[in-house]
Amino acid sequence: MAFDFYMPDIGEGVVEGEIVSWKVKVGDKVKLDQPLVEVMTDKATVELPSPRAGTIAKINYKDGDICPVGKILVVIDEEGGTASKSSNGGGGHKPHAPEATPKQHAPAPTPPRAATPPRAAAGGSPQIEVVDATQERARVLATPATRRLARQLGVEIGRVPPTGKHGRVTTEDVKQFQSTGTAMVPARGKSPLGALEERIPLRGMRKRIAESMSRSVNTAAHFTYVEEIDMTELVTVRDRAKARAAERGVKLNYLPFIVKAVVSGLKKWPALNASLDEATQEIVRKKYYHIGIAAQGPQGLVVTVIRDADMRSIFDISREIDRLADAVRTNTATRDDLTGSTFTISSLGKLGGVLATPIINFPEVGIIGVHKIEERPAVRNGQIVIRHLMNLSISVDHRLADGWDGAMFLQDVKSLLEDPTTMFMEMV
Protein backbone atom coordinates (compact mmCIF):
# COMPACT_ATOMS: atom_id res chain seq x y z
CA MET A 1 0.00 0.00 0.00
CA ALA A 2 1.35 3.41 -0.98
CA PHE A 3 1.38 6.10 1.69
CA ASP A 4 1.43 9.77 0.60
CA PHE A 5 3.50 11.91 2.95
CA TYR A 6 2.45 15.56 2.75
CA MET A 7 4.58 18.59 3.58
CA PRO A 8 3.59 19.32 7.19
CA ASP A 9 2.60 22.64 8.70
CA ILE A 10 5.99 23.15 10.34
CA GLY A 11 5.30 26.37 12.22
CA GLU A 12 2.97 29.32 12.58
CA GLY A 13 2.78 31.31 9.36
CA VAL A 14 4.90 28.83 7.38
CA VAL A 15 3.32 28.09 3.98
CA GLU A 16 6.22 26.43 2.18
CA GLY A 17 9.65 24.92 2.68
CA GLU A 18 12.79 24.61 0.59
CA ILE A 19 14.27 21.14 0.21
CA VAL A 20 17.78 21.31 1.63
CA SER A 21 18.82 17.68 1.20
CA TRP A 22 17.30 14.24 0.99
CA LYS A 23 18.55 11.53 3.33
CA VAL A 24 17.03 8.80 1.17
CA LYS A 25 16.51 7.98 -2.51
CA VAL A 26 13.91 6.06 -4.48
CA GLY A 27 14.16 2.35 -3.71
CA ASP A 28 15.63 2.80 -0.22
CA LYS A 29 14.00 0.91 2.63
CA VAL A 30 13.21 3.15 5.60
CA LYS A 31 12.25 2.55 9.20
CA LEU A 32 9.66 4.41 11.25
CA ASP A 33 11.06 7.80 12.38
CA GLN A 34 14.15 7.46 10.19
CA PRO A 35 15.25 10.90 8.91
CA LEU A 36 13.91 11.50 5.39
CA VAL A 37 14.73 15.06 4.41
CA GLU A 38 15.93 18.44 5.69
CA VAL A 39 13.57 21.31 4.89
CA MET A 40 14.32 25.00 5.37
CA THR A 41 11.61 27.53 6.14
CA ASP A 42 11.91 31.22 6.97
CA LYS A 43 11.88 30.18 10.64
CA ALA A 44 14.36 27.33 10.88
CA THR A 45 15.66 24.19 9.25
CA VAL A 46 13.77 21.04 10.23
CA GLU A 47 14.48 17.36 9.75
CA LEU A 48 11.38 15.38 8.84
CA PRO A 49 11.28 11.74 10.03
CA SER A 50 9.49 8.97 8.18
CA PRO A 51 5.90 8.43 9.36
CA ARG A 52 5.91 4.84 8.04
CA ALA A 53 8.25 1.92 7.53
CA GLY A 54 8.55 0.80 3.95
CA THR A 55 10.24 1.55 0.63
CA ILE A 56 10.64 4.98 -0.96
CA ALA A 57 8.47 4.77 -4.07
CA LYS A 58 8.58 8.35 -5.31
CA ILE A 59 10.18 11.69 -4.40
CA ASN A 60 8.27 14.65 -5.82
CA TYR A 61 10.65 17.51 -4.99
CA LYS A 62 14.41 17.60 -5.52
CA ASP A 63 17.09 19.55 -3.63
CA GLY A 64 16.52 23.27 -3.96
CA ASP A 65 12.82 22.95 -4.85
CA ILE A 66 10.11 24.79 -2.93
CA CYS A 67 7.37 22.51 -1.58
CA PRO A 68 4.14 24.16 -0.38
CA VAL A 69 2.52 22.94 2.82
CA GLY A 70 -0.07 20.30 1.98
CA LYS A 71 1.59 18.99 -1.18
CA ILE A 72 2.78 15.40 -1.47
CA LEU A 73 6.47 15.36 -0.62
CA VAL A 74 7.27 11.66 -0.89
CA VAL A 75 5.45 8.37 -1.38
CA ILE A 76 6.29 5.38 0.82
CA ASP A 77 5.33 1.88 -0.32
CA GLU A 78 4.39 0.03 2.86
CA GLU A 79 3.87 -3.35 1.19
CA GLY A 80 5.97 -3.12 -1.96
CA GLY A 81 3.02 -1.85 -4.03
CA THR A 82 2.98 1.01 -6.52
CA ALA A 83 2.51 4.67 -5.82
CA SER A 84 -1.01 5.99 -5.46
CA LYS A 85 -2.59 8.00 -8.27
CA SER A 86 -2.38 11.18 -6.21
CA SER A 87 1.37 10.99 -5.76
CA ASN A 88 2.22 13.70 -8.28
CA GLY A 89 2.81 16.53 -5.86
CA GLY A 90 -0.40 18.28 -6.85
CA GLY A 91 -2.79 17.11 -4.13
CA GLY A 92 -3.87 18.89 -1.01
CA HIS A 93 -4.05 17.61 2.57
CA LYS A 94 -5.66 14.20 2.98
CA PRO A 95 -6.97 12.74 6.25
CA HIS A 96 -3.69 10.88 6.77
CA ALA A 97 -1.53 13.98 6.34
CA PRO A 98 1.83 14.07 8.14
CA GLU A 99 2.20 12.46 11.48
CA ALA A 100 5.84 13.42 11.88
CA THR A 101 7.09 15.87 14.45
CA PRO A 102 10.05 17.72 12.93
CA LYS A 103 13.19 18.29 14.93
CA GLN A 104 14.27 21.91 14.64
CA HIS A 105 17.76 23.30 14.56
CA ALA A 106 19.61 26.39 13.41
CA PRO A 107 19.58 27.24 9.73
CA ALA A 108 22.28 25.28 7.94
CA PRO A 109 23.79 25.86 4.51
CA THR A 110 22.26 24.02 1.58
CA PRO A 111 24.56 21.10 0.69
CA PRO A 112 25.44 21.46 -2.99
CA ARG A 113 24.49 18.66 -5.34
CA ALA A 114 27.74 16.84 -5.86
CA ALA A 115 28.65 14.71 -8.84
CA THR A 116 30.28 12.20 -6.53
CA PRO A 117 29.58 11.54 -2.85
CA PRO A 118 31.83 13.98 -0.90
CA ARG A 119 34.20 12.49 1.57
CA ALA A 120 32.89 13.11 5.08
CA ALA A 121 34.74 14.11 8.20
CA ALA A 122 34.37 12.24 11.47
CA GLY A 123 31.14 14.12 12.19
CA GLY A 124 29.64 12.94 8.92
CA SER A 125 29.25 16.34 7.22
CA PRO A 126 30.74 16.86 3.74
CA GLN A 127 34.02 18.75 3.67
CA ILE A 128 34.11 19.37 -0.10
CA GLU A 129 31.92 21.98 -1.74
CA VAL A 130 30.90 21.18 -5.31
CA VAL A 131 28.81 23.76 -7.11
CA ASP A 132 26.48 23.30 -10.05
CA ALA A 133 28.03 23.93 -13.47
CA THR A 134 25.88 25.19 -16.34
CA GLN A 135 27.10 23.03 -19.20
CA GLU A 136 24.66 20.48 -20.56
CA ARG A 137 25.98 16.95 -20.97
CA ALA A 138 25.35 16.96 -24.71
CA ARG A 139 27.54 20.02 -25.18
CA VAL A 140 30.54 18.74 -23.25
CA LEU A 141 33.68 18.41 -25.38
CA ALA A 142 35.66 15.36 -24.30
CA THR A 143 37.31 12.33 -25.85
CA PRO A 144 35.72 8.89 -25.45
CA ALA A 145 38.61 7.92 -23.14
CA THR A 146 37.89 10.94 -20.91
CA ARG A 147 34.19 10.12 -20.82
CA ARG A 148 34.94 6.49 -19.94
CA LEU A 149 37.25 7.63 -17.12
CA ALA A 150 34.50 9.91 -15.80
CA ARG A 151 32.05 7.01 -15.76
CA GLN A 152 34.56 4.76 -13.99
CA LEU A 153 35.19 7.41 -11.32
CA GLY A 154 31.50 8.22 -10.90
CA VAL A 155 31.96 11.82 -12.07
CA GLU A 156 29.18 13.55 -14.00
CA ILE A 157 31.25 15.03 -16.81
CA GLY A 158 28.82 17.89 -17.38
CA ARG A 159 29.85 19.30 -13.99
CA VAL A 160 33.58 19.32 -14.68
CA PRO A 161 34.89 22.78 -15.72
CA PRO A 162 37.15 22.33 -18.78
CA THR A 163 40.74 23.50 -19.13
CA GLY A 164 41.57 21.97 -22.51
CA LYS A 165 41.72 23.65 -25.89
CA HIS A 166 38.37 24.98 -27.17
CA GLY A 167 36.76 24.18 -23.83
CA ARG A 168 37.54 20.47 -23.88
CA VAL A 169 37.35 18.45 -20.65
CA THR A 170 40.62 16.57 -20.16
CA THR A 171 41.39 13.44 -18.19
CA GLU A 172 43.31 15.62 -15.71
CA ASP A 173 40.19 17.78 -15.24
CA VAL A 174 38.17 14.67 -14.35
CA LYS A 175 40.83 13.36 -11.96
CA GLN A 176 41.18 16.75 -10.26
CA PHE A 177 37.42 17.10 -9.88
CA GLN A 178 37.02 13.58 -8.49
CA SER A 179 39.84 13.98 -5.95
CA THR A 180 39.07 17.47 -4.66
CA GLY A 181 35.64 18.42 -5.95
CA THR A 182 37.14 21.54 -7.54
CA ALA A 183 38.43 22.48 -10.96
CA MET A 184 42.01 23.06 -12.04
CA VAL A 185 42.88 26.73 -12.54
CA PRO A 186 43.68 27.22 -16.23
CA ALA A 187 46.02 29.81 -17.63
CA ARG A 188 44.20 32.99 -18.63
CA GLY A 189 43.49 33.32 -22.31
CA LYS A 190 43.67 29.57 -22.97
CA SER A 191 40.15 28.56 -21.99
CA PRO A 192 36.58 29.89 -21.97
CA LEU A 193 35.52 32.47 -19.39
CA GLY A 194 33.27 29.86 -17.74
CA ALA A 195 36.35 27.98 -16.55
CA LEU A 196 37.40 31.09 -14.59
CA GLU A 197 34.03 31.57 -12.94
CA GLU A 198 32.13 29.75 -10.24
CA ARG A 199 28.34 29.64 -10.25
CA ILE A 200 26.64 28.90 -6.94
CA PRO A 201 22.84 28.51 -6.77
CA LEU A 202 21.20 31.17 -4.62
CA ARG A 203 19.25 28.97 -2.23
CA GLY A 204 19.14 27.76 1.33
CA MET A 205 20.36 30.07 4.07
CA ARG A 206 21.89 32.61 1.64
CA LYS A 207 18.55 32.92 -0.17
CA ARG A 208 16.69 33.42 3.12
CA ILE A 209 19.10 36.22 4.09
CA ALA A 210 18.71 37.86 0.67
CA GLU A 211 14.92 37.76 0.90
CA SER A 212 14.89 39.13 4.45
CA MET A 213 17.28 41.99 3.70
CA SER A 214 15.43 42.95 0.50
CA ARG A 215 12.08 42.97 2.27
CA SER A 216 13.43 45.19 5.04
CA VAL A 217 15.09 47.72 2.71
CA ASN A 218 12.12 47.84 0.35
CA THR A 219 9.53 48.19 3.13
CA ALA A 220 10.97 50.09 6.10
CA ALA A 221 11.97 53.73 5.68
CA HIS A 222 15.48 53.57 7.15
CA PHE A 223 17.30 56.45 8.78
CA THR A 224 20.57 56.15 10.71
CA TYR A 225 21.93 58.12 13.65
CA VAL A 226 25.43 57.71 15.14
CA GLU A 227 26.89 58.59 18.53
CA GLU A 228 30.34 58.24 20.07
CA ILE A 229 30.41 56.44 23.42
CA ASP A 230 33.14 56.82 26.04
CA MET A 231 33.44 53.27 27.38
CA THR A 232 36.37 53.96 29.72
CA GLU A 233 34.42 53.57 32.96
CA LEU A 234 32.67 50.44 31.71
CA VAL A 235 36.01 48.95 30.65
CA THR A 236 37.16 49.37 34.25
CA VAL A 237 33.96 47.83 35.66
CA ARG A 238 34.16 44.88 33.31
CA ASP A 239 37.83 44.26 34.16
CA ARG A 240 36.94 44.17 37.86
CA ALA A 241 33.98 41.87 37.27
CA LYS A 242 35.82 39.35 35.04
CA ALA A 243 37.26 37.41 37.97
CA ARG A 244 33.90 37.06 39.71
CA ALA A 245 32.28 36.08 36.42
CA ALA A 246 34.93 33.41 35.86
CA GLU A 247 34.15 31.93 39.29
CA ARG A 248 30.61 31.39 38.01
CA GLY A 249 31.76 29.95 34.72
CA VAL A 250 30.89 33.10 32.79
CA LYS A 251 33.10 34.65 30.12
CA LEU A 252 32.13 38.30 30.47
CA ASN A 253 32.34 40.72 27.54
CA TYR A 254 30.67 44.06 26.87
CA LEU A 255 27.58 42.81 25.03
CA PRO A 256 25.52 41.96 28.17
CA PHE A 257 26.02 45.55 29.42
CA ILE A 258 24.87 46.89 26.06
CA VAL A 259 21.79 44.64 26.19
CA LYS A 260 20.81 46.01 29.61
CA ALA A 261 21.35 49.61 28.49
CA VAL A 262 19.23 48.99 25.37
CA VAL A 263 16.39 47.49 27.41
CA SER A 264 16.41 50.50 29.73
CA GLY A 265 16.27 52.83 26.73
CA LEU A 266 13.41 50.88 25.15
CA LYS A 267 11.34 51.27 28.31
CA LYS A 268 11.66 55.05 27.99
CA TRP A 269 11.08 55.08 24.23
CA PRO A 270 8.43 52.39 23.57
CA ALA A 271 8.02 53.46 19.93
CA LEU A 272 11.25 51.57 19.22
CA ASN A 273 10.10 48.32 20.83
CA ALA A 274 7.30 47.83 18.35
CA SER A 275 6.22 46.53 14.95
CA LEU A 276 3.62 47.36 12.33
CA ASP A 277 0.72 44.98 11.69
CA GLU A 278 0.30 45.78 8.03
CA ALA A 279 -2.89 43.72 7.73
CA THR A 280 -4.75 45.78 10.33
CA GLN A 281 -2.64 48.95 9.98
CA GLU A 282 -1.94 48.95 13.71
CA ILE A 283 1.30 49.79 15.51
CA VAL A 284 1.98 47.03 18.03
CA ARG A 285 4.02 48.24 20.98
CA LYS A 286 5.61 45.37 22.89
CA LYS A 287 5.73 45.37 26.69
CA TYR A 288 8.19 42.50 26.72
CA TYR A 289 11.84 42.72 25.76
CA HIS A 290 13.21 39.93 23.59
CA ILE A 291 16.54 41.23 22.33
CA GLY A 292 17.93 39.83 19.10
CA ILE A 293 21.69 39.44 18.70
CA ALA A 294 22.68 39.56 15.04
CA ALA A 295 26.08 38.05 14.38
CA GLN A 296 27.93 36.04 11.77
CA GLY A 297 27.41 32.31 12.29
CA PRO A 298 29.00 29.34 10.51
CA GLN A 299 26.26 29.41 7.86
CA GLY A 300 25.83 33.18 7.55
CA LEU A 301 24.00 35.95 9.36
CA VAL A 302 21.94 34.63 12.29
CA VAL A 303 19.76 36.46 14.81
CA THR A 304 19.50 34.66 18.14
CA VAL A 305 17.04 35.90 20.76
CA ILE A 306 17.55 36.64 24.45
CA ARG A 307 14.02 36.35 25.79
CA ASP A 308 12.86 38.57 28.68
CA ALA A 309 16.20 40.38 28.80
CA ASP A 310 14.75 42.92 31.25
CA MET A 311 14.39 40.17 33.87
CA ARG A 312 17.94 38.81 33.54
CA SER A 313 21.16 39.78 35.30
CA ILE A 314 24.35 40.71 33.48
CA PHE A 315 25.80 37.27 34.24
CA ASP A 316 22.61 35.52 33.15
CA ILE A 317 22.56 37.40 29.84
CA SER A 318 26.21 36.49 29.29
CA ARG A 319 25.42 32.78 29.86
CA GLU A 320 22.48 32.98 27.46
CA ILE A 321 24.57 34.64 24.75
CA ASP A 322 27.13 31.83 25.06
CA ARG A 323 24.42 29.15 25.01
CA LEU A 324 22.81 30.58 21.89
CA ALA A 325 26.15 30.93 20.11
CA ASP A 326 26.95 27.30 20.89
CA ALA A 327 23.50 26.20 19.69
CA VAL A 328 24.07 27.96 16.36
CA ARG A 329 27.50 26.38 15.94
CA THR A 330 26.14 22.89 16.62
CA ASN A 331 22.86 23.27 14.69
CA THR A 332 20.78 22.64 17.82
CA ALA A 333 19.05 26.03 18.16
CA THR A 334 15.28 25.83 18.51
CA ARG A 335 12.63 27.98 16.85
CA ASP A 336 12.33 30.02 20.07
CA ASP A 337 16.09 30.64 19.98
CA LEU A 338 15.80 32.20 16.52
CA THR A 339 12.46 34.02 16.37
CA GLY A 340 10.38 36.58 18.23
CA SER A 341 12.87 39.39 18.87
CA THR A 342 11.44 42.86 19.49
CA PHE A 343 14.65 44.87 18.92
CA THR A 344 18.04 43.78 17.57
CA ILE A 345 21.68 44.48 18.35
CA SER A 346 24.15 43.83 15.53
CA SER A 347 27.70 43.13 16.67
CA LEU A 348 30.85 41.98 14.91
CA GLY A 349 32.91 42.10 18.10
CA LYS A 350 36.50 43.19 17.55
CA LEU A 351 35.84 43.46 13.81
CA GLY A 352 33.09 46.00 14.42
CA GLY A 353 34.78 48.79 12.45
CA VAL A 354 34.12 52.48 12.90
CA LEU A 355 30.66 52.93 11.41
CA ALA A 356 27.90 50.99 9.68
CA THR A 357 24.26 51.47 8.70
CA PRO A 358 22.64 48.23 9.90
CA ILE A 359 19.54 46.96 8.11
CA ILE A 360 16.49 46.65 10.34
CA ASN A 361 15.49 43.12 11.33
CA PHE A 362 12.03 43.43 9.80
CA PRO A 363 9.33 43.87 11.10
CA GLU A 364 11.07 45.49 14.07
CA VAL A 365 11.42 49.27 14.30
CA GLY A 366 15.09 49.61 15.14
CA ILE A 367 18.52 48.00 15.23
CA ILE A 368 21.76 49.11 16.88
CA GLY A 369 25.18 48.54 15.34
CA VAL A 370 27.96 47.99 17.87
CA HIS A 371 31.43 48.98 16.71
CA LYS A 372 34.88 48.28 18.07
CA ILE A 373 36.24 49.79 21.27
CA GLU A 374 39.66 51.33 20.82
CA GLU A 375 41.90 53.80 22.57
CA ARG A 376 41.68 57.23 20.95
CA PRO A 377 42.56 60.78 22.01
CA ALA A 378 39.74 62.78 23.55
CA VAL A 379 39.43 66.21 25.13
CA ARG A 380 38.46 66.15 28.80
CA ASN A 381 38.57 69.30 30.95
CA GLY A 382 40.67 71.06 28.35
CA GLN A 383 43.24 68.26 28.23
CA ILE A 384 43.92 65.67 25.52
CA VAL A 385 43.69 62.26 27.16
CA ILE A 386 43.48 58.67 25.98
CA ARG A 387 40.01 57.13 26.39
CA HIS A 388 38.31 53.88 25.32
CA LEU A 389 35.89 55.09 22.64
CA MET A 390 33.25 53.26 20.64
CA ASN A 391 30.62 54.27 18.09
CA LEU A 392 27.02 53.11 18.21
CA SER A 393 24.83 53.48 15.13
CA ILE A 394 21.08 53.05 15.12
CA SER A 395 18.82 52.48 12.13
CA VAL A 396 15.12 53.21 12.69
CA ASP A 397 12.00 52.74 10.59
CA HIS A 398 10.91 56.35 10.02
CA ARG A 399 7.36 55.20 9.33
CA LEU A 400 6.86 54.29 12.99
CA ALA A 401 9.35 56.46 14.88
CA ASP A 402 10.75 59.94 14.39
CA GLY A 403 14.37 60.99 14.30
CA TRP A 404 13.89 62.51 17.73
CA ASP A 405 12.89 59.14 19.17
CA GLY A 406 15.91 57.38 17.73
CA ALA A 407 18.35 60.10 18.80
CA MET A 408 17.00 60.39 22.34
CA PHE A 409 16.93 56.62 22.75
CA LEU A 410 20.59 56.40 21.74
CA GLN A 411 21.47 59.27 24.09
CA ASP A 412 19.92 57.34 26.97
CA VAL A 413 21.90 54.23 26.03
CA LYS A 414 25.04 56.39 25.84
CA SER A 415 24.53 57.86 29.30
CA LEU A 416 24.10 54.40 30.87
CA LEU A 417 27.17 52.93 29.20
CA GLU A 418 29.32 55.93 30.09
CA ASP A 419 28.24 55.80 33.74
CA PRO A 420 27.73 52.14 34.70
CA THR A 421 26.63 53.17 38.21
CA THR A 422 23.44 54.66 36.80
CA MET A 423 22.95 51.54 34.68
CA PHE A 424 22.87 49.35 37.77
CA MET A 425 20.41 51.76 39.42
CA GLU A 426 18.11 51.40 36.41
CA MET A 427 18.05 47.60 36.57
CA VAL A 428 14.99 45.79 37.86
pLDDT, tens digit, for every residue of 211-220?
888 889 988 9
Query: At 428, is the pLDDT very low, low, confident or very high (cuts 50, 70, 90)?
Result: low
- pTM here is 0.60
268-283 mean pLDDT: 93
| Selection from 240-249, 263-272, 349-358 with the highest mean pLDDT | 263-272
Per the annotation, the verdict on 290 as an active-site residue is: no
188-200 mean pLDDT: 65
pLDDT at 261 over 80: yes
At 3, give phi and psi (nearest 5°).
Answer: -110, 120
pLDDT at 179 over 90: no
Catalytic residue from among 93, 132, 398, 419: 398
Tell me, what's the pLDDT at 308?
96
Per the annotation, the verdict on 322 as an active-site residue is: no
Catalytic residue from among 402, 405, 412, 419: 402
178-184 mean pLDDT: 64
Tell me, what's the pLDDT at 180?
73
Q: Model confidence over 152-175: pLDDT tens digits?
A: 787 888 888 888 866 778 888 888
Tell me, what's the pLDDT at 11?
65
Tell me, what's the pLDDT at 144?
63
Q: Model confidence over 224-241: pLDDT tens digits?
A: 999 999 999 999 999 999
Q: Model confidence over 278-321: pLDDT tens digits?
A: 889 899 999 999 999 988 777 778 899 999 999 999 999 999 99
Mean pLDDT for the chain?
A: 81
Q: pLDDT above 70 covers what percent of the chain?
A: 79
Least confident of 50-59, 116-125, 397-406: 116-125
